[in-house]
Amino acid sequence: MVRLSSCKVLAVIALIIFAQPWRPSLAEQPQAVNRGVVEIETSGSSGMSVRLVEDLANLVDDGATRRVLPVIGKGALQILIDLKYLRGIDMAILPTDVLEYAKAQRLYPGIESSLTYITKLHNEELHLLARPEILGISELKDRKVNIDLRGSGTSITATRIFEMLKIPVSVTNDTQEVALDKLHRGEIAAVAFVGGKPSPAFTSLKRGEGIHFLAIPVNAEIAAAYTPTRLSGVDYPELIPQDKPVETIAVGNVLAATELRQLPERSRNVANFVDIFFTGFQSLLGPGHHPKWNEVNLAAELPGLRRYAPADQWLQRNMQIAKTPSPEMLRTMFSRFVDERRQAIGGAAMTQQDKDALFQQFQSWQREQAR
């Protein structure tokens, strides 16, 4: 029989203890798991907002006192309802026109007074894909156009755009995968889809098939509600010639928060989230994160909706930092400015290479002015 000295016994016990990963006791686990958790509801798992929330989780989570929990919602209108009524949902990423739609239709009276916003986020573009024989959006009159599932962000945006253009269409509400198959078979005339360009939904399409994007004309009503933009050959080289960009509109998104003033613990968690998010925002603009972060201006305001108080307070303390665009954001803004100016004067679209060269000249000029 082998006997161990007391020192050796203690050493073996210590080795066993420290070889196990640390875990809180059973009594502590509920508090530990829930400590600092914030829940953010987003659109379906294939959407862009899920990827943005993943970036936020990687930024904010520290494994002990802070945690971001994504929740996959079912359609923009349902997410809006969940943000107001569903227990545990602290924040949600919503298209801005869904808020306008709910207000105009009086779907949930007073909902805008019970929500606040933390910051405006990225834009997502409206894609209108049509069969070869459809040459312009006006030719969709009384034709079948798929606008995604009822209550989705795409269905709301597409419905509003067709109403603003006074083009009556026969809508269908299939998923995008089913709708694209029906478009190929000729069962519908067009498919509407709102998503960040370039969208993976269209990467398998080839130019030779004849299916193409339709331009969205912008009138005064549309310009007041949406941002004019373009789809280009850089975004979809198989569908759009390099010298023939397609005019469309973009839908803004917002990170909204529910009313938390009567819920002190959740309010503290969200306030802590905002502080880490805003303070570390510049790191989201670098490699390894979604490029749509470069469109975000933390200080941008959303008329008609109150900003979440801790977010507003952070901006008041750090306004100069918040309003200074990053180099990538400045490059994106410069590129957009060039595109809009060329469009305004009827000039041909400038290649990305030419825009990069012009931007470098602008930076040189800017440095000269600072001397």
pLDDT for 9 equals 46
**How many Å apart are CA 69 and CA 351, to the nearest integer?**
41
In single-letter form, the type of residue at position 134 comes to: I
Pairing of strands 170-172, 144-146: parallel
Q: Where are the domains of the chain?
A: 30-121+254-325, 123-252, 326-371
- Rounded to two decimals, the pTM is 0.77
H runs (alpha helix) in the chain? 6-19, 29-34, 48-60, 76-85, 96-105, 111-114, 153-164, 176-185, 220-225, 264-279, 309-317, 319-323, 327-344, 352-370
- Please spell the DSSP secondary structure of 30-60, one letter per residue: HHHHHTTEEEEEES-TTSHHHHHHHHHHHHH
**Which residues of the chain are under the pLDDT cut of 70?**
1-32, 45-47, 320-330, 332-333, 336-337, 340-347, 363-371
- Could you give the CA distance from residue 229 to residue 211 in angstroms, rounded to a whole number? 21
- Average per-residue pLDDT for the chain: 84
pLDDT at 320: 65
The answer to whether the 30-121+254-325 and 123-252 domains have the same CATH topology is yes
The whole-number pLDDT of residue 12 equals 45
Q: Where are the alpha helices (DSSP H) in 86-200?
A: 96-105, 111-114, 153-164, 176-185
Q: Which CATH architecture has domain 123-252?
A: 3-Layer(aba) Sandwich (3.40)
Question: Are 277 and 59 a contacting pair, CB within 8 Å?
Answer: yes
Token pair for residue 269? 């968690």
CA dist., res. 34 & res. 260, Å (int) = 17
What CATH architecture does domain 30-121+254-325 belong to?
Answer: 3-Layer(aba) Sandwich (3.40)
Q: Are 215 and 244 in contact (CB under 8 A)?
A: no
- The phi, psi pair for 70, rounded to 5°, reads -70, 140
Cα separation, 37 vs 55, in Å, equals 16
**Which tokens go with 162?**
């067709």
